[in-house]
Amino acid sequence: MKNRLIGVAGVLVAAMACSTVSHAWQSWHDGGAYTVLYRSAWRDGIDPRLTIQAPAPDSVSTVTMPQLKGVALKTTMRRSDDFSAVASGTPRAEIVFAPVVHFAVGKEYEVRWSTLIPAGYRFDTRQPEIITQLHQGGATGSPPFALLLAGDQYQADVRGGASGANRSVKFGAPAADAGNAVNWVLHYRPDDQGTQALTELYKDGVRVLHSTGMVNAYPGDKDAYLKIGIYKWWWKTRPSDVSDRTMYYGNVEIAARAVRRGSD
């Protein structure tokens, strides 16, 4: 099965209208004006321009979810699924924003989204899983930014190439969040030299990651993109505590502005 464009008939015009907003918004981070590049609307279905990487047609869908303002994106997969035709043949159930927004060196970005871990979720103590990532464009290797579930904690990684993370922090207690919406804001200034680099993550308004002056983009990358959903790369090759995974997501907003030199 190849990557698929999955959408709901009749929502293309509405999806495009809501996802290419050009007005400026005000950053709560530092008061600067951003321009919204994309805003999803799960209540209208999945924008057919987005790409799905998943083992089955029902692995990514929209569902009623009061905690996430009425309708949420649901990503789900089983260890027994056939992932051979999914991107790189690796266990994942993700939605890819590459067709509509890219992240390039020389700009600043804010990404806003929310997650909901199902009540009763069993956490895997033997291997992690990525639940949100900024993936590099056109190169193999680990993503420049990744938010993971790592045992009984969250983990955020920042890197500028395929090697180990330049910054990795663990925080919080995901089990305490199960059944409730968690709101995330990523403030991201990609820089493959590190001079102007900033990667800053907020969970429910509390800063949990602050990485500045460290390379956070692949060399010369102008095509990095957002992915939300579950990515569990060791699931088929290493021991695991779990046989199924499900995660819910609220709407996504991505905004950008030109880099202001000297800001941090």
Range scoring the smallest mean pLDDT among 25-34, 145-154, 222-231, 251-260: 25-34
pLDDT recorded at residue 14: 34
Range scoring the smallest mean pLDDT among 6-20, 95-109, 145-159, 162-176: 6-20
pLDDT above 50 for 25: no
- DSSP line for 146-181: EEEEETTEEEEEE-SSSSS-SEEEEES-HHHHTTSE
Hey, which residues does 4 pair with through a beta bridge?
Answer: 52
Question: What is the model's pTM?
Answer: 0.87
- Average pLDDT (224-250) is 98
pLDDT above 70 for 179: yes
Task: Give residue 30's pLDDT band: very low, low, confident or very high (50, 70, 90).
Answer: very low
pLDDT, tens only, 69-120: 999 999 999 999 999 999 999 999 999 999 999 999 889 999 999 999 999 9
pLDDT recorded at residue 138: 85
- CATH number for the domain whose boundaries are 12-72+80-106+121-258: 2.60.120.200
pLDDT above 60 for 253: yes
Q: What span, in angstroms and rounded, lies between the C-alpha atoms of 176 and 47? A: 32
pLDDT above 60 for 29: no
Q: What span, in angstroms and rounded, lies between the C-alpha atoms of 46 and 9? A: 10
Cβ atoms of 137 and 259 within 8 Å: the answer is no
What percent of the chain is modeled with pLDDT above 70? 86
Of 241, 8, 217, 234, the closest CA to residue 109 belongs to 217
**Strand-strand pairing, 153-158 and 33-39:** unpaired
pLDDT recorded at residue 162: 87
Task: Please state the separation of Cα 25 from the chain's center in Å.
Answer: 21
**How many alpha carbons fall within 13 Å on the CB side of residue 81?**
25
Per the prediction, the chain carries an average pLDDT of 88
Please indicate whether residue 66 or residue 1 has the higher confidence score (pLDDT): 66
pLDDT, tens only, 191-223: 999 999 999 999 999 999 999 999 999 999 999
pLDDT recorded at residue 8: 32
